[in-house]
Amino acid sequence: MPAGRGPIPTHLELRAVSKRYGGARALESVSVGIRAGSVHAVVGENGAGKSTLGKVVGGLVAPDGGEVALWGTPVRFRSPREALDHGVATIAQELAIVRELTAAENVYLGVEPRSSMVVRRRELRRRYEDLCEAVGFGVPANAVAGRLRVADQQKLEVLRALARDAQLLVFDEPSAALSRDDVERLHEVIRSLRSRGRTVVLISHFLREVLEVADDVTVLRDGRLVRSGPSAEETEETLVQAMLGRSFDQSLLPKQRPEPGAPVLLSVRDLWAQGVNGVSLEVRGGEIVALTGLVGAGRTEVAEAIVGLRRLARGSLVLCGRVVRRPTPRRMLHLGLAMVPESRKEQGLLLGRPVRENAVLSVLPELSRLSYVRRGMERRAVSEVLGRVDVRAAHPGAEADTLSGGNQQKLLFARVLLTKPRVLVADEPTRGVDVGARRAIYELLGRFAAEGRAVLMISSDAEEVLGVAHRVLVMRGGRIVAELDGETATEEELVAASLLVPTGPDGVPSAASAGNPGLVPQACQNDAEVAP
């Protein structure tokens, strides 16, 4: 290890680093030192510049001004590969897997064991399995990466960085898609890296995570450095105030109970599909119902089956009084159900297209005449809905990938609101967003329910589930194994229900039996009709 000044050398230093994208300031004269063998967290609102800082360190972008120094020596990385040659690896916020390759091939891509030009497959698998065992991640070596869940794809990103034996690792929102157990395991990995003398830069919007694992924390706001120092001197409240420049109530919004006798807008009975094993549930107007459980429990699979992204093997759906026998995304949207998907990059946005086009994508027929978009109607619709959900873009013609993660997520909600749905399915609605954007999304969900519409929310965040939902349905093994009252349930009860399958007197899992019959409501039985 090169010698440094003082008892703990500075591994990496940013000296008056600046970066602009067009007229937008991402970083403005930021100077910070990162101690060797430490975990250094970077926090800030979405758009504060923390991901840009990580990209500068990892060689993904070049600064416009200032310099980066490694062990006191100025360096200028022109690519992530060049950074890796200097011992710096980055785990990016947006997944960068090759979907057609296996898990092992992704992890060792570019550094495969070879004999001449031939990859030694047996050696590749052995190395991968040894690494998984050391880290505690259980992703099969031959699993096709594109078929894995988002959480497992994120694990491959972590493994890829560890496989390169880097001395400084930049983790950009690594735990955003991981379950509670996987987050704890990731924290153990980070602590292990630190104990072996490696340096970790942790970019995160999870303030509790930052305070648990970080030695030092840097706060950014609007591309500028607010302060940098020991995390032991910070609390969640002081960090939030520094991030926002004002005091901020982090508490979740008060819940407004649905009206007594509110109609059932979505009813699911004995639903079977790939990954879904006999699920029954119902959601009333004015109600927010959460589906939760460990990763792999079947939460997203249920949502996709309801929306029509998975073929139904058996079961019935009733949407707003209409029986839907063969759901498809277009048919369900037409009948009043819209979905915010889990991954805004892979499933939600056209990142290379303008904000304007992303917002109106689902309502183009209403804005078109003779196959031409009526620009005046489009401008009015976009202006109204972007203001309603507070999407902050330079202008509606800016490409979606220029927005921060929180604004991209709100853009998805803007598209949904333009369709005027009566039922909203939101899969991990606050994944990868900061505390300010998170609260804005909670307000959107609350307003949606207050207008008498229904929300089915899929979330792995226990605090979010208990703070937002009126009822909580806990899944395991593709079944609903417990139902909890969102007003009275505790986090301990939620974790216990996720880990333990309750059984009835005959030893059979109670699945959706208690308070969750999933029967077609009487109001719908009287006038139900088959959807076209």
Mind listing the pLDDT tens digit for each residue in 39-54? Answer: 999 998 777 888 899 9
Residue 222 pLDDT class (50, 70, 90 cuts):
confident
Q: Considering the entire predicted model, what is its pTM? A: 0.62
User: Which whole number is the average pLDDT over 463-480?
Assistant: 91
The pLDDT of residue 331 is 92
Q: What is residue 510's predicted lDDT score, i.e. its pLDDT?
A: 42
Q: pLDDT digits over 84-117, tens only?
A: 889 999 887 667 889 999 999 999 998 888 888 8
378: enclosing H helix or E strand: helix 375-389
Which pLDDT does position 124 carry in this prediction? Answer: 94
Complete domains list, the chain, with CATH: 10-244 (3.40.50.300), 264-336+421-530 (3.40.50.300)
Q: pLDDT-derived band of residue 392, with 50, 70 and 90 as boundaries? A: confident
Per-residue pLDDT, 177: 63
* pLDDT for res 248: 56
CA angle 204, 208, 214 (to 5 degrees): 65
% of the chain beyond a pLDDT of 90:
43
For residue 531, the model assigns a pLDDT of 39
| Higher per-residue confidence, 156 vs 180 | 156
Q: What is the mean pLDDT of residues 290-313?
A: 90
Please report the pLDDT score of residue 29 as a whole number.
95
Per-residue pLDDT at 220: 94
- What is the model's pLDDT at position 158? 80
Smallest Cα–Cα separation from 289: which of 306, 274, 272, 312?
306
State yes or no: pLDDT of 529 exceeds 80: no
Residues 6+ apart with CB under 8 A from 331: 308, 324, 531, 532
Confidence band of 462 (pLDDT split at 50, 70, 90): confident
Is there a contact between 125 and 108 (Cβ–Cβ < 8 Å)?
Answer: no
Contacts of 110 (CB under 8 A, 6+ apart): none
- Which phi and psi angles does 58 have, rounded to 5°? -85, 0
The pLDDT, as a whole number, for residue 496 is: 79
Select from 221, 206, 191 the least CA-distant residue to 53.
221
Name the least confident of 26-30, 93-97, 203-207.
Answer: 93-97
Q: What is the mean pLDDT of the chain?
A: 84
Distant-in-sequence contacts of 474-477, Cβ < 8 A, 24+ apart? 474/292, 474/293, 474/498, 475/279, 475/291, 475/292, 475/293, 475/297, 475/298, 475/299, 475/302, 476/293, 476/294, 476/297, 476/298, 476/501, 477/277, 477/297, 477/298, 477/501
More confident residue, 155 or 229: 229
Q: What is the mean pLDDT of residues 204-208?
A: 84
pLDDT digits (tens, 9 = 90+) for 127-172: 999 999 887 788 999 999 999 877 788 788 888 888 888 899 999 8
Query: Residue 468: in which H helix or E strand, if any?
Result: helix 462-468
Has residue 180 got a pLDDT over 90? no
Per residue, the 3-state secondary structure of 6-70, as one string, reads CCCCEEEEEEEEEEEECCEEEEEEEEEEEECCCEEEEECCCCCCHHHHHHHHHCCCCCCEEEEEE
> Can you give the pLDDT at residue 500?
59
**Mean pLDDT calculated for residue range 184-210:** 87
Which token pair is 490?
């505790």
Nearest to 276 by CA among 302, 306, 312: 302
Kindly tell me if the per-residue pLDDT of 513 is higher than 50.
no
Could you read off the pLDDT of 241-293 as tens digits, one per residue? 888 776 655 556 678 888 888 999 999 999 999 999 999 999 999 999 999 98
Residue 3, pLDDT > 50, answer no
pLDDT of residue 1: 44
Predicted confidence at residue 7, as pLDDT, reads 63
Q: What is the pLDDT of residue 55?
A: 92
Q: 254 near 445, Cβ under 8 Å?
A: no
Torsion of CA 376, 382, 387, 393, to 10 degrees: -110
Model confidence pLDDT, tens digit, residues 413-460: 988 888 899 999 999 998 877 777 788 889 889 999 999 999 999 998
